[in-house]
């Protein structure tokens, strides 16, 4: 029997504008082929509907002396216990019983060099964040289990 790779949702975050930190919310609604309701990056016309970053990546930045937490890297979903970088494009992730996501991109180019980069000379989102599209939506909140489908 194959072992399930799983982790936990630490935070769900949204922002009304692109290029800003996201604010944690108690729960969010992931809409099929759209993204996270209320977030500026949600869009049915592209492959980066939702962004994920591991708490472990945030902790690396904290160890460098940066006061950051979930949403500060503009990620929608913060996870822990699952190695997001080990997931190849096309991997499907399940949250709870209904939500199904598909990895579409690993990392991104950082054009603006955010405030975190300016402070310490590096940022984890461009190299350790991943992007997904929503194949099947539903309610997502901290404490939900996320598994490789």
- Can you give the residue ranges of every domain in the chain? 6-148
As a whole number, mean pLDDT of residues 117-123 equals 52
Q: Considering the chain, what is the average pLDDT of its residues?
A: 87
Among 17-21, 43-47, 102-106, which range has the highest average pLDDT? Answer: 102-106
pLDDT at 106: 85
Beta bridge partners of 130: 52, 106
The model's confidence at residue 129, banded by pLDDT at 50, 70 and 90, is: confident
Per-residue pLDDT band for 81 (boundaries 50, 70, 90) equals very high
Q: Which band of pLDDT confidence, cut at 50, 70 and 90, is reported for residue 25?
A: very high
Residue where the block lists tokens 């290029």: 19
CATH number of 6-148: 2.40.33.20
Q: Residue 111 — φ and ψ, nearest 5°?
A: -80, -30
Dihedral sign for Cα 89, 44, 109, 11, please. Answer: negative
Helix (H) or strand (E) holding 76: none
């Amino acid at each position: 029997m194959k072992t399930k790779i799983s982790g936990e949702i630490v935070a769900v975050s949204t922002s009304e504008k692109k290029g800003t930190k996201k604010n944690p919310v108690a729960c969010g609604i992931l809409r099929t082929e759209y993204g996270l309701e209320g977030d500026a990056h949600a869009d049915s016309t592209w492959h980066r509907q939702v962004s994920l970053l591991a708490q472990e990546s945030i902790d690396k930045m904290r160890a460098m002396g940066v006061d950051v937490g979930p949403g500060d890297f503009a990620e929608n979903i913060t996870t822990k216990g699952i190695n997001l970088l080990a997931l190849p494009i096309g991997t499907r992730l399940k949250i709870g019983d209904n939500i199904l996501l598909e990895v579409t991109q690993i990392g991104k180019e950082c054009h603006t060099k955010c405030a975190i980069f300016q402070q310490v000379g590096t940022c984890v989102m461009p190299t350790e964040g991943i992007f997904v599209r929503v194949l099947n939506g539903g309610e997502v909140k901290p404490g939900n289990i996320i598994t490789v489908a």
